[in-house]
Structure formats: structure tokens, C-alpha cells
Structure 1
Amino acid sequence: MKKFWDLILGALLILYVIALNIMSGSRIAFSLPVVILGIVLIIYHFIKYKIKENSFLNKGLKIIKVFLCIGLICFLCIEGVIISYPKHNEKKDDYFLVLGAGLTNRTIPNSILKGRLDAAIECIKKNNSAYIVLSGGQGVDEDLPESHAMSKYLEERGVDKNKIIIEDMYRDTNQNFKYSKEKIEKHSQKSLDEVNVKIITTDFHAFRSSILAKRNGYVNFDNYSSPTIWYLIPITYTREAFAVIKSELFDKA
């Protein structure tokens, strides 16, 4: 069995992604890299003995393994921070900022986004004096901006339309905060540091959201996160570790 670990792991990764996308009803972000990794592992299984027979290729493989070990350690450290970051603050705030996450069948909030919207409903029931900012632009695979679908979802569940503020310009989490900041300041007629904002997202996303919130001038904020559906935990938390690195290097206010 030990000889076939790479073949088995590669096949499991590919099958996991296929099952995941079928269960979710839409293409899950980061599916392609996982499939590529699975294919690489399967190919490696059939050529690893030939590599070991070639001294030059064998030395190269050892160097690659060293870098992979270093990368794995860094990955696990980032995951530890993501997992341990505080995710559930029930303090009353002036605004609830719900971050977009994608649509299923081009018009309906996907399972992750539904979780965030349900969390927003929980919050507004406990603090009905707050306003909900829905941040979500329109992707190429969507028939309408996410924020419009989000608003429809909330209204159908009894949320007052007058309590909803729509931001439909964003393309990523960094822009979520940039454009939502403008909406909040315009609506409140105050500087952002004078209002309290609750960031509503999914648990895997809380840490990176806080980084980007600070970068965009959010001062008085806290988090309220919805739980990740069990079968999405491996891929969402893995993707998020790489997204944290990407945000640290490239996302600017």
C-alpha cells in the first residue's frame, strides 16, 4: 500500500473535486489546481522509479522535496492562524457588511453565500437598528450582480428593504471593503472610523477579511462568521491559505 500512496492520493483528489462540484451544483473555486495536483501525483507514481535511476533527475527531485517540505510547514502555520482566528462576535454594530461568494445557476446565492446571508439574518434579529451592506458584483458566469440576488434572498425572508444597502461593483474581497467603505460613509454621513462594522463572512474567510478590512481603513470592526459546510472544508481552507499569501503580496487599498 505504501508504494501506491501517490496513486491513491491523486485519484482521491480528483474524485473529491468531481463529487464536490456535483454536490454543490456549481464549479467550486480552486477545483482546477486540486485536479492538476491529482494528475501530477498519478504521473509521478509511474515515473518515480525512472527518475531515481537517473542521478541528475534524482538530485533535482531531492531539491524539490526540500522546498515542498518548507512550503508545507509554511502552509500549516498559515492554516493554524486561519483556524484559530476569532470568528464570532455578537457585539452590536451600526452596519453589517456581508461579503459576496458567488451564485448557483447564475441567479441564486450558492451554499457558502446562503450561510453568510443566514448569519446576517441572525444578526439583524438581534440588532434591528443596524443596516446591512451587501457587497457583490456581477461575474462572467452570473446573470445579475451578487448583491441583487443577496437582497432578494433577504427580502424573501422578511428583512426590510429599507435596511439594505447594495454595493455591486466589487470583483474580489479587497474591493469588497473599498467600495463598501464609500457606501457606508455616504449613508452614515460619517467617517468610517466613527461607525462600527460587523464583517459577515464564512469561518475560513474571517482572518483574511480582517487583514483587508484594516488595509482599507476599517477601525471599529468585528467578525461574525457562518460555518463551512463539512464537505467544503478541505478545499476552502486549503485555498484560503494561498489567498492569504496573495492578499499580503498583491492586494492594496
Structure 2
Amino acid sequence: MARMHWWIMAVGAVFFLWFFIPAFVVVNIGNITGMAVSALVLLYGIFYRQVQDVAGRLWQTRGGRAGLSALGMVLLFILLIVTVETAGMIRSAANRAPENTTAVVLGCSVKGERPSRVLNERLCAAYEYLNRNPKAVCVLSGGQGDGEEISEAECMYRYLTGRGIDGARLLLEDRSTTTAENLQYSMELLQQHGIDGPITIITSEFHEYRANQTAKRLGITSYSTPSRTFFLYLPTFYVRELYGILYYKISK
């Protein structure tokens, strides 16, 4: 037990850095939450004995026991939500498509005319999928946002054709700004070209669950072809996606 506070401090410090490093590139609710929780864990490790003493004294009083019990219930509830959402992410990412299923690549930010790291990861997954499934058609879905000199769809088209993918297999959907619009407009585009049937969604592994749930809400049969997120960024985007899934569940 004497070494416990050192282990707690080490865990807090490692995770704080893991969430802090991506802040040089991207700041969102994911790394803000991660840094805040990691800082609390680090402080708990530093003041371990003092916190234990205060908690012990509080537990001796009726009000203190009620407060600590309520705090424990809140933490357990949060842990339950995180566990359920994480299980959904893992299960959805493993739901792979049959051969030559029509693909829809969900866009992400473009830096000028170049794909961001996350979009580049999705494009690598799309390139591999299209090479493995030579009869598959692919929709590149993403509009043009602030700071983007071209649409996300156009950026993806340039990348894939530049690596040798036949442009005739690629359909550009360049109006969407949300996941729901990505899928809705992509299906409309496929229908215009007389293409029906299920799709496989190519997006980041952490995003597959919400994307497939959105497809289900729209009446679309979908599978997953996940990209792999760079390990330094994964915790940040994973925590942000926990919020995204919660908001999706509450708002539907």
C-alpha cells in the first residue's frame, strides 16, 4: 500500500501527457476531459495519504457517508456508460462487409488542399479496401468547411486517383457537413446511379458505432471498414466520441 500513491501518480502523469501532446495539433472536449481527469488522478496520487485521511473522517459521519456513497454511485454510472459505449464501438468496428460491398468514405477536415491525419488514415483504409474489392464502387462524402480550399470529397478523389484507383469507381458527394448528411446524401447519389444494396462505412474505428447507428436510423444496411487512428491521438478522439455517442442517444 505504501507504493500505491507512486503508481497512481505515474498513471495520472502518463495519461495527462497522452492527452496533452495532441493539444499542439487539435484541442477538443476529448483531450480537455482527459487532461482534467488525469490531473485529478495525479493530484490524488500526490496527496494520497491526506485524501485517505479526509475520506476516513467523512465516512465516520452520516452526511459524509451519504456524500461519498453518492459520489461512488455517480462514478459507477459514468463507468457503466463508458463500458457500454466502448463495447458498442468494438462490436461495430468488427462488423466487416461481404466482398465488393459498395463503400462510403466519411470525410474529415482538410488542411488547405491536403487531408488531415485522420482523413489520411481513412483514405489509406479506403485504398486498401478498393484494392481488395476490385468490383466495389465507392462514394467519397464530405463538403467544404472553414479553412478548406477544396471539398473533402475532392481531396479524397485526388488522393485515391493519385494512388492509381480508377476514377470511374468513385462518386463524389460534396454537400454534407454531418455524419447523417454524409450517409443520406451518399445514398441519394447511389440511387441516382442505380446502385442499391448494403454499404460498408469507411471511417475511424472509434466512429464506426455512431456512423452505423445513424445508418440504421436512416434505414440503411451497413457494415464497417475501420481505419486505424495514430496511437497518440486515439485517446483524445475516443473520449470525444464518448460524448458524441451520448449526445446521439439522448437527441434521437
TM norm structure 2: 0.78
Q: Is the 8 A contact 2:19 2:31 kept in 1?
A: yes
Return 4-13 or 153-162, whichever deviates more.
4-13
Deviation of the 1:43 alpha carbon? 6.0
- 3-state DSSP class of the match of 2:211? helix
C-alpha distance in structure 1 between counterparts of 2:84 and 2:188, whole Å: 34
Q: Is the 8 A contact 2:19 2:235 kept in 1?
A: no
- 3-state DSSP class of the match of 2:193? helix
Pair 1:67-2:74 in alignment: yes
- 1:105-120 alignment, distance < 5 Å: 105-120=111-126
Q: Which amino acid counterpart does residue 230 of structure 1 have in structure 2?
A: F
Deviation of the 1:212 alpha carbon? 0.9
Q: Is the 8 A contact 2:200 2:224 kept in 1?
A: yes
Structure-2 residue corresponding to 1:172: 178
Relative contact order, higher structure (CA 8 A, sep 6+): 2
Q: Is the 8 A contact 1:204 1:237 kept in 2?
A: yes
Structure 2 unaligned segments of length 5 or more: list them: none
**Which structure is larger by alpha-carbon Rg, 1 or 2?**
2
Pair 1:31-2:31 in alignment: yes
Q: Is the 8 A contact 1:132 1:163 kept in 2?
A: yes
- 3-state DSSP class of the match of 2:37? helix
Q: Which amino acid counterpart does residue 97 of structure 2 have in structure 1?
A: N
The 1:238–1:179 alpha-carbon spacing in structure 2 relative to 1, beyond 3 Å, is: same
Deviation of the 1:179 alpha carbon? 1.9
Deviation of the 1:244 alpha carbon? 2.2
The 1:66–1:183 alpha-carbon spacing in structure 2 relative to 1, beyond 3 Å, is: same
- % identical equivalent positions: 26
Q: Deviations for 1:140-161, whole angstroms, at most 9, x for unmatched residues?
A: 3433322221111112111233
TM norm structure 1: 0.78
Deviation of the 1:2 alpha carbon? 2.7
Structure-2 residue corresponding to 1:163: 169
- 3-state DSSP class of the match of 1:231? coil
Q: Is the 8 A contact 2:125 2:225 kept in 1?
A: yes
The 1:61–1:98 alpha-carbon spacing in structure 2 relative to 1, beyond 3 Å, is: same
Q: Which amino acid counterpart does residue 31 of structure 2 have in structure 1?
A: S
Deviation of the 1:63 alpha carbon? 1.4
Q: In structure 1, which of residues 178, 181, 189 is the aligned counterpart of residue 187 of structure 2?
A: 181
Deviation of the 1:98 alpha carbon? 0.3
Pair 1:82-2:96 in alignment: no
C-alpha distance in structure 1 between counterparts of 2:224 and 2:22, whole Å: 27
Pair 1:247-2:243 in alignment: no
C-alpha distance in structure 2 between counterparts of 1:138 and 1:115, whole Å: 19
Return 141-150 or 54-63, whichever deviates more.
54-63
- 3-state DSSP class of the match of 1:170? coil
Deviation of the 1:39 alpha carbon? 4.0
- Alpha carbon RMSD of aligned pairs, Å? 3.0
